[in-house]
Amino acid sequence: MTDEQRQSPAGPIRVGVFGARGRMGAEVCRAVDAADDLELVAAIDEGDGLSGAAEAGAEVVVDFTTPDVVMDNLRWCIDRGISAVVGTTGFTGERLDRVRGWLERSSPGVGVLIAPNFGIGAVLMMQFATKAARYFESVEIIEQHHPRKLDAPSGTATHTARLIAQARAAAGMGPAPDATKEEVPGARGADIDGVRVHAVRSAGMVAHQEVLFGTTGETLTIRQDSYDRVSFMPGVLLGVRSVRQRPGLTIGLDALLD
Ligand SMILES: NC(=O)C1=CN([C@@H]2O[C@H](COP(=O)(O)OP(=O)(O)OC[C@H]3O[C@@H](n4cnc5c(N)ncnc54)[C@H](O)[C@@H]3O)[C@@H](O)[C@H]2O)C=CC1
Ligand SMILES: O=C(O)C1=N[C@H](C(=O)O)C[C@H](O)C1
């Protein structure tokens, strides 16, 4: 990084992208390139080495890689005082605690935003589902994705299930009643904090989720569909523009939309 690069606080935000040749990373590179207030200074994928981002003076890194590598990437950013916007999945409670620990020991002002879903509709779908949770005895989540997705259930479905379980617990409700004996293991989906989650993988899909609630005589379905990865870009760019004003760890896009 040159002195000239360091001395441009009012200039465009200098952005690095990790996972730049992936489906999401490539879209993020295009979106950053097209934004007047952002400058794409590093586009890094597997095998490139991360140091190019520091050498180019990245102030914010956007990570869309894999659950296997994202923790090392984040540690690398935090150690160098680079803020990060993370869409990569795989964040358990234990992982989030580790990130918080790194941030407590980092230079002040480093922000990390980890969002299971950057789609505005998806954020609202999770909020609506959380609001509905206490009114319905039954709840099931059906997530549907493209068949090249590496993980199941999706980060969004896992996060939604946890939010619903917390809302039910706060209302004094336990898991949804279910008398079914599985004749084939997995027939009833995964159990996340007492909420059943079903993962569909199909050609022709991008990212979709339904939350199905049921009570006596009625059901409520809350559904969100991302038909194109551009749907995630307004949320990602909002994160890039905001993350340095939010030192520490922010989980989810909700706080940035208020
Ligand atoms: N939060 C959100 O809104 C969204 C999150 N995702 C998540 O983002 C992640 C990526 O998804 P896709 O782009 O579909 O996957 P992808 O497989 O198309 O892209 C991942 C990229 O990361 C690269 N990579 C692997 N190791 C790396 C390393 N050490 N350094 C730099 N690059 C590395 C791969 O070579 C690949 O190009 C997944 O976890 C997915 O679930 C996807 C869409 C939206
Ligand atoms: O891999 C994807 O495509 C997506 N991953 C995220 C997830 O696991 O929730 C977000 C969105 O569903 C797309």
Question: Tens digits of per-residue pLDDT, 105-151?
Answer: 988 899 999 999 999 999 999 999 999 999 999 999 999 999 999 99
Task: State yes or no: is 149 an active-site residue.
Answer: yes
22 is in an annotated binding site: yes
In this prediction the pTM is 0.95
66 is in an annotated binding site: no
Q: Going by DSSP bridges, is the β-strand pair 207-215/138-145 parallel, antiparallel, or unpaired?
A: antiparallel
**pLDDT at residue number 107:** 85
**pLDDT at residue number 233:** 98
Distance CA 211, CA 52 (A): 42
Q: Which is catalytic among the residues 145, 159, 198, 208?
A: 145
**pLDDT at residue number 11:** 93
What 8-state DSSP symbol labels residue 213?
A: E
ipTM of the prediction greater than 0.95, yes or no: yes
Atom of ligand 1 nearest to the CA of 146: 14
Kind plus residue range of the DSSP H or E element containing 39: strand 38-44
Q: Whose CA is nearest to atom 30 of ligand 1?
A: 46
**pLDDT at residue number 6:** 40
Instruction: Evaluate the omega torsion of the peptide bond into residue 153 and state whether it is cis, within 30 degrees of 0.
Output: yes
Q: Which residues contact 75 (CB under 8 A, 6 or more apart)?
A: 102
Distance CA 157, CA 149 (A): 14
Regions of the chain short of the pLDDT cut 70: 1-10
Task: State yes or no: is 208 an active-site residue.
Answer: no
CB 59 within 8 A of CB 82: yes
**pLDDT at residue number 5:** 44
**pLDDT at residue number 40:** 98
Q: Whose CA is nearest to atom 40 of ligand 1?
A: 88
**pLDDT at residue number 89:** 97
Ligand sitting nearest the alpha carbon of 226: 2
